[in-house]
Amino acid sequence: MPAYQMNKHSLPGPENIHREVLSNGITVLARSNFNSPSVSMSGYLPAGSMTEADEKLGLADFVASALMRGTEKHTFDEIFNELESVGASLGFDSGVHNTSFGGRSLAEDLPLLLDLLSETLRTPTFPKNEVEKLRAQLLTGLAIRAQDTSDMAALMFDQTLFDGHPYGRPGDGYPETIQAITRKDLVDFHRLRFGPRSMVIAIVGAIEPKKAVSEVERALGGWQVKRQKEAPGLPVLKPLSETVQRHHEIPGKSQSDIVVGTLGPRRKDKDFLAASLGNSALGQFGMMGRIGEVVREKSGLAYYAYSSLNSGIGPGSWDVSAGVNPKNVKRTIDLILKELKRFVKNGVTADELADNQANFIGRLPLSLESNSGVAGAMLNIERYDLGFDYYLRYADQVRAVTRDDVLRTARKYIDPERLAIATAGP
């Protein structure tokens, strides 16, 4: 019997997750762990790239990257000196739906960490010289992306699969859109999109949950933004009606990258677990599952080959990626298509399913060993409305998935005649 079964109280659940919504709309999730003197803090607020105009792509990412470049109280250097003086960390990132943040400190320094979070969220000043330095860094990143066959194949794949949808646009934009973003654009995006409504913050570590809530209330409870705009809903995505193949040429490269795939389930869909277990057998487990065995081990065609299931709030993607010698592109795509057809015809074997179920169940306690892992799990419960007992039910849910479930799910999502195929290379 796995050890964690005897310690279900150690998993995040209704008995040990404290949830409270502040009067200004911030949801606080807190859980104590006194086995370590530190605390981890993670969260998000609905200020993602969905609302960007096509000519200003990368705006949300630019804003998230600029939040710590100076506030009404502190310069860029002063913010980092404050953090480094106590060995703490704080950072921001952006996605389609949200701007996310994360930090870590000793429990005694949580007030400082929350004060800096509050300050950077509420009163960034976007200093002109720092904005221009950041713009140069973002443009350098895009120049590197343009020469990366893996990045460009992934970009082409998203553009093809999610054509006309926010998921098809690159969150880091293009050189011309980053050049077009002004300081006023940064200020306006922050003024309209940043606010306490629908913000979620999780705190896990050596602190009583009620104390964690009171610290968030102290630092962020007074934040009010009457003009904060609601995030728009996702538009309907029209699936591909036939296979579409696109190539992005990067001269002089010795490697080509391939992405082949289709739409997958949303994170909260009932068939997400069946898809996850199927995907693990297809191209993750051991030496990258069947895809790795057929394309890489047996045929020796690829430097790497694996499958991915990317699920979130909206429709996800289910895809196979490979890096190959340019002369092996067609053979590799043919092998991938053959393996996908076999997968939707036969599904997984009893042994494959059992091995992957054991792997999923055994991995869970490991993913929750750290405070940051638990904070991430709590945010997933909140973001996808999974239920506070999700991790207590998880092992039983994984064991309940049958071979028929995996086969039915594979056939529901993967149609070998309607795929997006993207390649990048010479």
How far is 267 from 383, CA to CA, in rounded Å? 10
Strand partners, 124: 71
How far is 154 from 424, CA to CA, in rounded Å? 9
Q: How far is CA 58 from the centre of its chain?
A: 17
Q: In this prediction, what percent of the chain has a pLDDT beyond 90? A: 89
Average pLDDT for 327-353: 95
Q: What would the DSSP string read from start to end of 82-132?
A: HHHHTT-EEEEEE-SS-EEEEEEEEGGGHHHHHHHHHHHHH-B---HHHHH
Q: Which residues contact 285 (CB under 8 A, 6 or more apart)?
A: 352, 355, 356, 359
Binned at pLDDT 50, 70 and 90, residue 1 comes out as: very low
Domain range 244-425, its CATH number among 3.10.20.30, 3.40.630.10, 3.40.50.300, 3.30.830.10 = 3.30.830.10
Q: What is the pLDDT of residues 39-50, one digit of tens each?
A: 999 999 999 999
How far is 186 from 136, CA to CA, in rounded Å? 16
pLDDT computed for residue 295 by the predictor: 79
- Domains of the chain by residue range: 16-220, 244-425
Please give the structure tokens belonging to residue 139. Answer: 């443009």
Q: What is the pLDDT of residues 202-245, one digit of tens each?
A: 999 999 999 999 999 999 999 999 988 888 889 999 999 999 99
Please give the structure tokens belonging to residue 136. Answer: 């140069």
Q: What is the pLDDT of residues 249-270, one digit of tens each?
A: 999 999 999 999 999 999 999 9
Strand partners, 213: none
Assigned architecture for domain 16-220: 2-Layer Sandwich (3.30)
Q: In this prediction, what percent of the chain has a pLDDT beyond 70? A: 98
Same fold, 16-220 and 244-425: yes
> Around Cβ 386, how many Cβ atoms within 10 Å?
16
pLDDT computed for residue 7 by the predictor: 62
Please give the structure tokens belonging to residue 108. Answer: 């005694």
